[in-house]
Amino acid sequence: MALVVATMLPDLADFVLPKGRACRTPCEMYTHAFPAVLVLTVAMAALAWGIWHRRVTALLAGAMVLLHVVFDFATGFKSFWFGGPSEGFNLYRFQAVDFAIESAMMTLAWVILRRSPSAPRWAVHPVTLGVLVTIQAAFDIWQYRMFGHR
């Protein structure tokens, strides 16, 4: 479960920050920029370690947070460090591509979790993956309606 949460952690952190067009870019700096990503990575790895006491789970959880930002470079066009230029391939212009990439990351985390011998049954059930993908679709639709293409 830690890997699934880690996959979405920067967006979840972004979701709890103030909303509105005026805050969109500045608030992303606290969840997707270089220093913030390191903090989220360490926090997620520490949380995973604290719950499961498994080095591999902690390392993979941290890696999934980092991979989120790597994929955001492909899908987005934003500043990845304070004062830096906006960069990225801006595939967000194509909502279906964004959905495919984000869902692929969740699916990868879910598949890795499924291979774990001590994974909770509810977490590795196919319905759980379906719910997560549905949440991603709802999030993409909400983002598009709120901000247009990013």
| Average pLDDT across the chain, whole number | 83
Choose between 109 and 145: higher pLDDT.
Answer: 109
Residue 20 scores a pLDDT above 80: no
DSSP E strand boundaries for the chain: 78-79, 86-87
pLDDT band per the 50, 70, 90 thresholds, residue 142: confident
Q: State which residues form the domain around 115.
A: 2-147
Which pLDDT score is estimated for 23?
60
| Residue 150, pLDDT score | 47
Mean pLDDT, residues 34-45? 92
Read off the pLDDT of residues 84-104 as tens digits, 9 standing for 90 and up.
888 888 877 777 877 888 899
**Buried/exposed code over 4-22 (b: 16+ C-beta within 10 A; e: otherwise):** bbbbbbbbebbeeeeeeee
pLDDT at position 7 over 50: yes
Which tokens sit at 58?
């902690």
Residue 12: the pLDDT is 84
d(CA 129, CA 25): 30
Domains: count for the chain: 1
- Residue burial 57-87, b: 16+ Cβ < 10 Å; e: rest: bbebbbebbbbbbebbbebbbbbbeeeeeee
Q: How far apart are CA 136 and CA 102, in angstroms?
A: 7
